[in-house]
Amino acid sequence: MNDSTFGIVSMIVLTLVLTPVVLYAHEAFQKLVGRFRRTYYYRRFPPISEAEFVHRCNPGVDRAVALCVRRIIGESLDIAYDEIYPEHRLSPDLGCD
């Protein structure tokens, strides 16, 4: 086997060996970041009741409409109902992209 063939074979072997390792490391890092974000989120926004949610809404907001929107957002984004605040923004706070 000459040097150029050995180099090609080495690169192929390295690619086959390192690709799963890099993918696993990336996935582990993403899980760690997700765990950190959830912990930060729960500390910043602990669960609140319906009464507290309505109290935090702007004056004049209909209670039934506000709670219906809260339920729809929770179901659509797979977020617990009592963890949604009226002051949340869809993209930065709730992760809706």
Instruction: State residue 67's pLDDT score.
Output: 95
Contact 53, 85 (CB under 8 A): yes
Instruction: State residue 72's pLDDT score.
Output: 93
- Which of residues 45 and 27 earns the better pLDDT score? 27
Residue 48 φ then ψ, to 5°? -130, 155
- Exposure string for 62-97, b = 16+ CB within 10 A, e = fewer: eeeebeeebeebbeeeebeebebbbebeeeeebeee
- Answer whether residue 8 shows pLDDT above 90: no
- 42-97 pLDDT, tens digit per residue, is 777 889 999 999 999 999 999 999 999 999 998 988 888 888 999 888 777 777 66
